[in-house]
A and B are shown apart, each in its own frame.
Chain A
Amino acid sequence: MSDTLLQVDDLQVEFDTYGGTVQAVRGVSFEVHAGKTLAIVGESGCGKSVTVQSMMGLIPMPPGRIVAGQALMHGVDIIGRKEIDGRDIRGREIGMIFQDPMTSLNPTMSIGDQIAEPLLVHRGYSKKRAFDRAIELLDMSRIPEAAKRARQYPFEFSGGMLQRAMIAMAIACEPKILIADEPTTALDVTIQAQILDLLNDLRRETGMAIILITHDLGVVARMADEVAVMYAGQFVERGSVDDVFYRSSHPYTLGLRAAMPVNDQQAEHTLTPIDGSPPDLFHPPKGCGYCARCPNAMKICEEHDPDVTVMSDTHSARCWQHHPTAPAKVEGLYYREASA
């Protein structure tokens, strides 16, 4: 595997609320490799955004608390740190774009000034040089008439254009990792395709890694090299994109796929929803988080949190069905491998 930029081990994040303590992230581990895209996929409330926000120091503390875990970058734990050897983590090591570009930008600053700001702060550029670079960056993000656009304000941009401006800002200091938190959820499909293509091109040109957070399996299939499926604060399955799609090994991954329409003219199928709802993370279940919704749940699933079973170098899942002492494998747990 290519070189590891970031290694996260057993990250656990909690939030104190009036209702009690929410265990939002319950022991998550992953690596990010240079030039690759890691997609973290899951439904709302599963903890995917909190996972990346904790690395960026974006968790408000209190009420948030990072209980355990580390995130190693260049051999240094970045959790709770702002810089490595004088280099800021936020902006220079890791850039980030958000779901809603409309509310993530400052409405009273011109687009060019906002993109120039990280260069002034992190790089010590002069104002003129930073603004010129901002125009170059807008051009790299394929915004037509970049020089004119740089002097405009966010309200003069469409949603897709704003997301391009956000990307220009995030890559201004050439970060090694770009975190994209639902970057296209607010956009139309044709604009989504443009933004996804742009992200892929930038990744190829700059060699940066992308952590893509999404709930859309279609976007995952298009973008990801590696995939982590998150449920109730844990990664229930990890693997290469082909592992997760063609050799799905966790009932939740299968459930998600069965709940989506397949565009195959031959296959007449009906959507199979996942019954029930995710567990209450105020009181996470003792056993497997998916147990209450799982069609194959066994007794042990209620009692003990499953171990991670390693299927191959790239593929692992957190499910008792894969334990060597499990009773006969449940039929259909492995998704039928589509004929290549």
Chain B
Amino acid sequence: MSSTPLVESIALTKHFDMGKSHGKRQIVHALDGVSLEIAEQEILGLVGESGSGKSTYGKALIGLHDKTSGEVRLKGETLPARYHPRDFERHATSMQMIFQDPYSSLNPRMTVGEIIGEGLRLHTRATAAEIRDKVTGWLEQVGLQGEHAGRYPHEFSGGQRQRIGIARAMILEPEFVVCDEPISALDVSVQAQVINLLNDLKSSMGLTLLFIAHDLSMVRYVSDRMAVMYLGTVVEIGPANDVFFSPRHPYTEILVASNPEPDPRTERSRASTTISGEIPSPVNVGAGCRFVGRCPHAMEQCATVTPELIPLKDDSNRRVACHLF
């Protein structure tokens, strides 16, 4: 791995204060000490169940959430804990985001041309004519047509809207893009279109991506490395194929085993792999491993000592937060 990662989070923590209930402060531990680094031109996949903090992490990285503690570094430079409008202006051209829901993330009262061109208008000195040309260029690059610029979002299908969202993020030619579940609202045949588009853009623009999704197969396909989150912490990280095909953390094992394969023979030969229970509440989480309540291998120390994310003895590319290793 190169010397300085492009994006790095160090013990990034985000708590939400929900006020008092029964005389006790309710603190939601959305992120607790997440340290990850993303190398230049790498795709890091982030998987986990809903409520595990994946989206919070993506948003905290690019400053859409204030940080409770910890820091985020972009090319070694520490980013502010709380963004002011000036900070957004400064970083908009280097970091962008693609959102999950192509329906609610586009302003219905703006034309597609205005939506895509807005970043240029706000953050660069481009003239109206330059913006128009660039918007047309990007519409074509994402597989739409230049004349679509005058239309409104409701005139497009879900897949087309997601392309509009991609064009909006890419027009500023950022170095780092957070893709927050960019395909989960789309049909299978359209998912592949969007994934291939992202892959093409990644290689032509030299992008670095954080790809957040809950579809394990898709994350494995897309990503170089894969990180698994559970209840605000990273439990395992490593090369995507290794994590998928030989998971080490008990939670990753269960996640992979629950992932339905589109192959009846595989499915028939699969033993029932369900774990009981559900992801616990992230309010006022105490010490100890967060997976302890559902873990089939839970030991005594798991309930009291929080495991750290450390490299495996036999594979330094893999880091696992579990007392078994």
Q: Report which A residues bind B (CB closer than 8 A).
A: 43-44, 158, 160-161, 188-194, 196-197, 215-222, 224, 241-242, 245-246, 255-263, 265, 270-275, 277, 338, 340
> Known contacts A43-B187, A189-B258, A260-B217; is A221 also within 8 Å of B263 by CB?
yes
Closest residue of chain B to A42, judged by CB? B187
CB distance from B21 to the nearest CB of A (A): 15
CB distance from A227 to the nearest CB of B (A): 9
Q: Assess whether B241 is interfacial by the CB under 8 Å rule.
A: yes
- Find chain B residues with CB under 8 A from A193 CB: 257-258, 260, 273-274
Complexed CA–CA distance, A41 and B121 (Å) = 44
- Find chain B residues with CB under 8 A from A271 CB: 192, 195-196, 221
Complexed CA–CA distance, A222 and B266 (Å) = 9
CB distance from B148 to the nearest CB of A (A): 15
Q: Are B260 and A274 in contact (CB under 8 A)?
A: no
Q: Are B191 and A221 in contact (CB under 8 A)?
A: no
Q: Are A260 and B265 in contact (CB under 8 A)?
A: no
- Find chain A residues with CB under 8 A from B259 CB: 189, 218
CB distance from A246 to the nearest CB of B (A): 8
CB distance from A242 to the nearest CB of B (A): 6
Q: Are B49 and A190 in contact (CB under 8 A)?
A: yes
Question: Which residue in A190, A216, A260 is a CB contact (below 8 Å) of B254?
Answer: A190
Q: Are A189 and B262 in contact (CB under 8 A)?
A: no
Q: Are A221 and B266 in contact (CB under 8 A)?
A: yes
Complexed CA–CA distance, A218 and B218 (Å) = 12
Q: How many residues of B contact A (CB 8 A)?
A: 43
Complexed CA–CA distance, A241 and B278 (Å) = 30
Question: Which residue in A217, A242, A338, A340 is a CB contact (below 8 Å) of B188?
Answer: A217
Complexed CA–CA distance, A272 and B188 (Å) = 11
Q: A193-B260, A274-B189 are in contact. List 14 more A-B contacts (CB 8 A).
A: A43-B189, A189-B260, A194-B274, A197-B272, A197-B274, A221-B262, A221-B266, A222-B260, A245-B264, A257-B262, A259-B191, A261-B221, A262-B263, A273-B189
> Within B218-272, which residues are at the interface with A (CB < 8 Å)?
218, 220-221, 241, 244-245, 254-255, 257-267, 270, 272
Q: Assess whether B64 is interfacial by the CB under 8 Å rule.
A: no
Closest residue of chain A to B257, judged by CB? A193
Closest residue of chain B to A216, judged by CB? B260
- Find chain A residues with CB under 8 A from B189 CB: 43, 255-256, 259, 273-274
- Find chain A residues with CB under 8 A from B195 CB: 271
Q: What are 18 A-B contacts with C-beta separation under 8 Å?
A: A43-B188, A189-B49, A189-B255, A189-B258, A190-B49, A190-B274, A194-B274, A197-B274, A217-B188, A221-B261, A221-B262, A246-B264, A259-B189, A260-B262, A263-B244, A271-B221, A275-B193, A277-B157
- Find chain B residues with CB under 8 A from A257 CB: 262
Q: Are B278 and A160 in contact (CB under 8 A)?
A: yes
Complexed CA–CA distance, A196 and B272 (Å) = 10
Closest residue of chain B to A198, judged by CB? B274
Complexed CA–CA distance, A262 and B263 (Å) = 9
Complexed CA–CA distance, A269 and B190 (Å) = 17
Q: Assess whether B279 is interfacial by the CB under 8 Å rule.
A: yes
- Find chain B residues with CB under 8 A from A261 CB: 217-218, 220-221
Q: Assess whether B214 is interfacial by the CB under 8 Å rule.
A: yes
